[in-house]
Structure formats: C-alpha cells, structure tokens
Structure 1
Amino acid sequence: MDCFQEWPEPIVRVQALSESGAGVVPDRYVKPLSERPRDAAPGKELSIPIVDLDGLAGGAAGCRAAIQAVSDACREWGFFQVVNHGVSAELIRKTREAWRGFFHLPMAEKQAYANSPKTYEGYGSRLGVEKGAILDWGDYFFLHFRPGSIKNLNKWPSQPDSCREITEEYGREVAKLCGVLMRVMSISLGLDVEFLQTAFGGEEEVGTCLRVNYYPKCPQPDLTLGLSAHSDPGGLTVLLADDRVKGLQVLKGDAWVTVHPVPNAFIVNVGDQIQVLSNAVFKSVEHRVLVNAEQERLSLAFFYNPKSDLPLGPAKELVTLERPQLYQPMTFSEYRLYIRKNGPKGKAQVESLKAK
C-alpha cells in the first residue's frame, strides 16, 4: 500500500497552467488520437431523459409514471436529469458560489489542503498513481461526509466564509434525495422497496462523499479531456453540473451525447455497484468531460456508496436460467483499489468482475 502514500511525480495544478497564458497544452495532457474529443456525428441529436420527481408526492398514477420514467432511464441510458427533486435553488446557488470562491483563492491558500492518494481528501489534480500517466485537464476538491469515522473537517476549506456550513447542508439534502432514488430504483427492479439501501448497509452506514471538479480554460481543448471516459465505481452519483457551460458527454451506443443541463436540475447516473446488484438490468455508462478555451467549468459530484466492507453480488431475485449470475461478489473497498491504482479506465473494472 506504500504506493498510496504519495503521488509518483510532483503535482502541477492545471489552474496554474491555464493562468500562465501558455498557448500549448503540455504533452502530459495530450490524449491519444482515439480518446480525443470529436464532433458528434451529424443528425445525432440525442438527449438524456428528464424525470420529474414531483409525481412521487402525487396520486397513484403520478407515482407510477415517475417510477416508470426512472426505470426506463436506468435501463436505456444509465443517466437522467431530475427536476422537482426537493433541494432548494437557493442552496444550490450558495453551494456553487462557495466552491467557485474556493477555486479563486490564492494558490497558497488552496495548497494548504493538498491531498495524497491515501484518502484523496482535499485539493487534488490527478487520479491514479500510475507513473507517467497521461493526465486530465482539471483540478478537484474531494471530501467525505459519511461514515463519520473517516470524515476530517480539517480537510474542508475554512474559506470562503460558511463554505463548510453550506457544504454540510448540501450533503444532507442530496443524501436525502439519494435515499428516495434508491427506493424508486429498488421498486423499478421488482424488488423490496428497501432492497438497494439494505444491500448498501442501511441508510446510516452508506458512504457519502463529494468531488468538486474545476476545469480551467484550455488553450487546445481538442487535444485533451477534463475527465477521461469512465463509469463511476460506486453506487449512485448525483451531479450538479455547470448549467452555463456544457462539457459532460455520455456514451450511447458508439455515440458521445452532450448533456444539456436543465437549470437547478441534478444529473443522476448508475454506478458500477448498482450494475452488479441488478445483475446488469441497470447499467453504469461511460462518460467523460470536455474542456473549452473560453470558459472555466465547475461541477459537484455527490457519490452515494455501499458500506466499504460488505460483499456485493447480484440480487438472487434477478438471477434466472435466462439471466445467470454475471458477477462475482466483491467489497467496495477492494473494488476501488483498482481506480486508485489506475485512474479512470472506461469500464475495465466492472468487466473484470464477470463470473467465469
């Protein structure tokens, strides 16, 4: 585990590269030709579904329609946007404002929160500890909410004022939304309403964390990516995207579909753990982030994950003669070691779990 104590090379902040005024992307950020952004094929004007959760609080018909919409989105896309989700627009505004403020602090103040691969908590600029890896054009801040035993408030920014308080409230509210979505997804799979939550260890035992992504302006956005193509290793991701600047793309078949964020909506996606639990009825989907030369981007990814030491395998109710068990059980703690070693690598990890 020594490789997780320190980064293999000196860390360079992408924001510092961007603000230096250099007109060329350093070689360490230039992606292979096959991974570089390409214009979408003409005529492919697809978009991820938008689900109105207001129906859950209405009558039986509205509730059934909302559950069906989530089910269809999880089966066909692995991604959807939710509106009327219960998190206030004012809290969303304050959270964005606080984190924009952090990334605009002087570099020395941000450096005080520099992270390591041991926990990733704090201010970071790379994922994975592979020496000589091609890096992504982005910085981030990572922090834990739950379990409380690993939450380290000393790693949370004390500036801007009330950043900690606002982030705490944001985490509580988004966790509530995740609880609702987990119940809806359980019903959508034909399982008991508490199935996914129980498989994750129960509402008080789940792991929740936040990664605030900052993508600075890039002089050659056609050569690099803000975040390489990957599926999320955890359970459920709730993303607050930058609704002023597009950048997130989702893989649908062989086409990269650009997501157009609805103001104050959340973008929800299935993680690898739910793909495993559902025996691939619901699928995690590769996605990536583009950068641009004109504007910075900020997004907040909230991760809702299983308790780290519970083995997760397909639900027995979803294993049949026609659909045999696809995955071997593995704990989330074992699973995420792959990401820590290698960084984002498509869907290589979940594919490696397939039962032989």
Structure 2
Amino acid sequence: MDCLAEWPEPVVPVESLAHLQTIPDRYVNPPEERSNCIASAGDDAVDAIPVVDLAALTEERVDAAVAEAVSAACRGWGFFQAVNHGVAPELVRRFAAAWRGFFCLPVEVKQRYANSPATYEGYGSRLGVDREAALDWSDYYFLHLLPRRLKDHRKWPQLPLELCEVTEEYGAEVRLLCRRLMRALSAGLGLQEGRLAAAFGGEEDEEAACMRINFYPKCSQPELALGLSPHSDPGGLTVLLPDTTPRDFKSAAPETAPGSPSARSPTPSSSTSPTRSKVVVNAEKERMSAAYFYNPRSDVAVEPLPELVEASGGAALYRPMTFDEYRLYIRQKGPQGKSQLSELYQD
C-alpha cells in the first residue's frame, strides 16, 4: 500500500472549475463513453430500471414473491429501484440536507479533510493514482462505517453539526436493508437465507460497509464530461440514493457478491454481464448522490459458492481473492469498466 500513500499530482476540487466556460482536457471523456448512460444520479435514464416493492421483506421472513422479484431484477439488470424499503423518508431528507450543507462550505474548510488514495477516506476529487489519467467531474466524501475498528469520527466532517449523528442513523437503517436484501438474494438462488451473509464474513457485525457522498458541480460542457466514468462497483451491494428521489433507492447487486445473480459464480443465469454505471453532469444545477457500499469482510476470500459451482456442472470462472486484493485494483486504476474482472478470469 506504500505506492498509494499520496496522489501522483495535485488534486483540484472540481467545484473550483465550475465557473470555466471551457472545461480542461483532463475532464473530456471519449465520445463512446459519453452516450448510452445506464444509470445516473438524478437522470431520467434510470426510469426503465425494475421497481421492487420490499414491504413484505422483513427481518423474520423472506416473502417468496419479493425474493423472485429481486432475483429477476438482478439477473436481468443488476439494478432495481427499491420502494417501501423501511428507511424513513424524514431520515433520508435530514441526511441529504446535512451533506448538502457540507458541500456548501468554503473549499478551504473542506480541504481540512483532504483524502489520500490509501483509503480514500475524507474529501476528494479523483479516483485512481495513474498520473495524467482522465478525471471525473465530481467531488466526494468517503467514509468507513463498518467494521467499527475502521470508523474514525475524527475523519468525519464536524459541520454541519448534525451531520455525524444523522449519517450514523442513516447508515444503520441502510445496513438493516442490506441484510434483508442479502436474505432475499440467497433465497432467490435456492440457498438457505443466511448463506450469502455467511460468505460475507459469518458473524454479526463482521461485514464491512462504507459510504461515498458524491457532489457534481455545474458543468459548462456537460456533453463532454462525466460525473463518474463507466464502472462496476467492486462491493457486494450498493444502495444508491439519487439526487431527485428522496424516498426511493436504486439498489444493485454488483459483480463481487459471491453467488448472487450478477456475481462471478458460473450459475446458468450468470451469462448476463454485470451492469456498468456512469453518471452524467448538468449545466444548470449541482447534483448530489450517496452510495452505501455493503461489502464482504476484507480478509474473506471472494469466490463462487461451491454448491453453485457444483450445481452448474462446470468450474469456477474466476480465481479466488480477498476483497482487499480486489479493491486494491480500483484504488490503483480508478473506474475501468469491467476490466478488473477480465484480469481475474481463469481459462
């Protein structure tokens, strides 16, 4: 990790560039990457994503119809919009308002929390450590929630005053939602409801979770830039709170959830590629989104579940690695589509 101790060049907050009429070349994306946006914060392109009502998904039981709806959405899309998810709308509004308050603070105040690529924790404006790499039109704040030994409130913003408290409340509620979704995903695969949770680390409180709050400043040339380049999230589940839907979530089961419908295990349904996401920007208004990443314990080997490999009659397509090893690729390269999976493929 020594190579990730510092950024290779000065980091420029994107909000300090928002006044420019012509954006710097480093923020201009190739034409093929700017179109056909599948998922974007606050964009109408997400309207076609399946909607799943989670009202019947409780701590006590997994409703068969909900499990099937979640499974079908993950097999076909890798994303779905969650409604009646159990996270109170008022809590969501308080959470979003607190973080909007933070991003409205002067740059010099936010820079006190400037991050490094070693953990990303804190205020930042780039991903990946490749020198002279293309950059995204966004600033963000990254923080750890789980395991508890990684959570350090000294690295959290102290302003607005309610930010820490409401972030804790919000994180705790979304964690419960993720646990329910994990049970639904397990049931949808024909497994015991706790099977995926066991693969994530086993004991309660052993899973990992982090959050990235994304801020997308106004951009004078939104047709040229992206708020976040094409990518597949490296974690187990991503719960995305978009800018314009304060009560609904976009939920994803990305490619590292062991044995999930859009995972790397060679189940009959896994021929559907995990969905890539990108984020567009806007010339008229600033945007914000919040992504909650629910992950395996860092030292757990991520690999196809043996019972699913056996049921498929085939062999595992990707070599095992710990979640930390897998995540290191992202920290070195930044968003690179699904190329990180290609490097792990075994013939």
TM-score of the superposed pair, with normalisation by structure 1: 0.89
The partner residue of 2:266 within 267, 270, 279 is 279
Per-residue CA deviations over 1:122-169 (Å, capped at 9, x if unaligned) read 000000000000100000000001111111111100100110000011
Q: Answer yes or no: is 1:334 the counterpart of 2:334.
A: no
For the structure 1 residues 242 and 75, does the alpha-carbon distance in structure 2 shift closer, same or farther, using more than 3 Å as the test? same
Letter paired with 1:296: E
**Which residues of 2 match residues 114-129 of structure 1 at below 5 A?**
114-129=114-129
The equivalent of 1:265 in structure 2 is 248
Letter paired with 2:223: D
Per-residue CA deviations over 1:301-326 (Å, capped at 9, x if unaligned) read 00000011111211111114544322
Letter paired with 1:279: P
Cα distance in 1 for residues equivalent to 2:107 and 2:304: 46
The equivalent of 1:252 in structure 2 is none
**Which residues of 2 match residues 1-40 of structure 1 at below 5 A?**
1-18=1-18, 21-37=19-35
Q: What SS does the corresponding residue of 1:66 show, helix, strand or coil?
A: helix
The equivalent of 1:249 in structure 2 is none
State the 1:224 CA deviation: 1.0
Instruction: Say if 1:201 and 1:306, in contact at 8 Å, map to a contact too.
Output: yes
Per-residue CA deviations over 1:324-349 (Å, capped at 9, x if unaligned) read 32221110010011101100000111
Q: What SS does the corresponding residue of 1:304 show, helix, strand or coil?
A: strand
The equivalent of 1:297 in structure 2 is 287
Cα distance in 2 for residues equivalent to 1:146 and 1:46: 31
State the 1:36 CA deviation: 2.2
Letter paired with 1:84: N
Cα distance in 2 for residues equivalent to 1:265 and 1:278: 29
Cα distance in 2 for residues equivalent to 1:138 and 1:83: 27
For the structure 1 residues 150 and 80, does the alpha-carbon distance in structure 2 shift closer, same or farther, using more than 3 Å as the test? same
Cα distance in 2 for residues equivalent to 1:312 and 1:97: 36
For the structure 1 residues 45 and 241, does the alpha-carbon distance in structure 2 shift closer, same or farther, using more than 3 Å as the test? closer
Higher mean C-alpha deviation, range 133-142 or range 21-30: 21-30
Cα distance in 2 for residues equivalent to 1:111 and 1:28: 21
Instruction: Say if 1:147 and 1:206, in contact at 8 Å, map to a contact too.
Output: yes
Per-residue CA deviations over 1:231-252 (Å, capped at 9, x if unaligned) read 0011000010111xxxxxxxxx
Instruction: Say if 1:278 and 1:318, in contact at 8 Å, map to a contact too.
Output: yes
The partner residue of 1:349 within 319, 340, 345 is 340
Q: Answer yes or no: is 1:188 the counterpart of 2:188.
A: yes
State the 1:209 CA deviation: 0.5
State the 1:33 CA deviation: 2.2
Higher mean C-alpha deviation, range 119-128 or range 323-332: 323-332
Cα distance in 2 for residues equivalent to 1:310 and 1:145: 18
Cα distance in 1 for residues equivalent to 2:293 and 2:194: 19
Higher mean C-alpha deviation, range 225-234 or range 267-276: 267-276
TM-score of the superposed pair, with normalisation by structure 2: 0.91
Instruction: Say if 1:189 and 1:278, in contact at 8 Å, map to a contact too.
Output: no
State the 1:278 CA deviation: 4.0
Higher mean C-alpha deviation, range 195-204 or range 72-81: 195-204
The equivalent of 2:97 in structure 1 is 97
For the structure 1 residues 153 and 34, does the alpha-carbon distance in structure 2 shift closer, same or farther, using more than 3 Å as the test? same
State the 1:350 CA deviation: 1.7
The equivalent of 1:153 in structure 2 is 153
Gaps of 5+ in 2: 39-44
Percent of pairs with identical residues: 53
State the 1:184 CA deviation: 0.4
Cα distance in 2 for residues equivalent to 1:169 and 1:54: 20
**Which residues of 2 match residues 180-329 of structure 1 at below 5 A?**
180-202=180-202, 203-243=204-244, 262-274=245-257, 275-276=262-263, 278-279=265-266, 281=269, 284-319=274-309, 320=311, 322-329=313-320
Cα distance in 2 for residues equivalent to 1:70 and 1:204: 24
**Which residues of 2 match residues 66-81 of structure 1 at below 5 A?**
66-81=66-81
